[in-house]
Amino acid sequence: MNEMWVEKHRPRSVAQIKGQTAIVDRLRAYAESGTFPHLLFAGPPGTGKTTAAMALTRDIYGEEFRQNLLEMNASDERKLEHIRTKVKQFARTRPFGKAIFKIIFLDEADALTNDAQGALRRIMEQYSETCRFILSCNYSSKIIEPIQSRCAVFRFRPLADEDVGAQVKHVAEIEQVKLDDDAGDAIVAISLGDMRKALTALQVAAAIDGHVTRALIYETTATAPPEALHQYLLACREDGFHAARRRLRGLLDKFGLAGTDFINQLHREMYNADFLTEAAKLDLTELMAEVDFRLVEGGGEQLQLDAMTARICAALST
């Protein structure tokens, strides 16, 4: 359901893409010329990599683009045999119609094994006349250097808050969802520049109630509002361990937070807490990093969060 909903609102042309101006200008030049080199799209999730690849393909071939496109998710088909069979078989066949080349789009290419990337490098070299590759990944460092050197690299950045907010409001109007202004701001805050995450938050809230409020956004996204996190820190400083621990338990239960989620959210909001000194923020950052590591390594969640609360109380009370 979610992927269909996101696909419905995906730009159909490179010119419609928002928030990646420098990248859009280069891709429009490729679309106008009707050709391009192998491409590597790198950047955080939800910033438009897949959208850019599909929009460029549409601009090149029109609505019949599927006949000359092979789209694969490399995290599902990451082994050597998938590259040697499916990719190579598609690459060696002639383009459909009057097209001069076909396109192979490998999403999440950083999931490919080194052996598979080695085979892919050879295919890119052999069939460069009749086939173009578009690779997308979150971490370009996981793509072997021979592939990177064969591609024009595009680095996508997290989307600006105003771009995310404008798109969320636009989608809400199209879907006839009543979206409060502060609810839109909450969606922007939790998305962290990830448009997919923002639209998912809007969809989930709208499925529950056609009138989307700020409180509904935080309840359906397993995110604590900033003021609740600030109140936890104030309780640590002024009310002592037991009161702070009760507030922590209340936050975890009300918003359905896992321990690592709580620490990450607290870390982000801590820097907006004016009542904390610079030295306190430095100490708490180091403390949160240590507790987060312990949780990732398998430490007991309740015990580790209580220990963190105790140490925050001790640090802020001095």
pLDDT, one tens digit per residue, over 248-277 is 999 998 888 888 999 999 998 888 888 888
**Angstrom distance (rounded) from CA 21 to CA 32:** 16
Average pLDDT over residues 93-108: 82
**Angstrom distance (rounded) from CA 314 to CA 178:** 45
184-241 per-position pLDDT tens digit: 999 999 998 888 899 889 989 998 988 999 999 998 888 899 999 999 999 998 888 9
**Angstrom distance (rounded) from CA 284 to CA 275:** 13
**What residues does each domain of the chain span?**
2-155, 161-220, 226-317
**Angstrom distance (rounded) from CA 264 to CA 270:** 10
| Per-residue pLDDT at 75 | 67
**Angstrom distance (rounded) from CA 206 to CA 200:** 10
Statement: residue 173 has pLDDT above 60: yes
**11-20, 55-64, 188-197, 261-270 — which is least confidently predicted?**
11-20
Overall CATH class of domain 226-317: mainly alpha
112-152 per-position pLDDT tens digit: 888 888 888 888 888 888 888 899 988 888 888 988 888 88
Are the C-beta atoms of 117 and 145 separated by less than 8 Å? no
For domain 2-155, is the CATH number 3.40.50.300? yes
| Per-residue pLDDT at 79 | 62
For domain 161-220, is the CATH number 3.40.190.10? no
| Per-residue pLDDT at 266 | 92
**Which of 59-63, 109-113, 206-210 shows the highest mean pLDDT?**
206-210
Statement: residue 292 has pLDDT above 90: yes
Distance, C-alpha 300 to centroid of its chain: 28
Copy the structure tokens of residue 191: 């998305």
Average pLDDT over residues 56-67: 82
Distance, C-alpha 169 to centroid of its chain: 19
Q: In what order do the strands lie in the sheet with 131-137?
A: 69-73, 102-107, 131-137, 39-42, 152-155
Q: What percentage of the chain exceeds 70 in pLDDT? A: 93
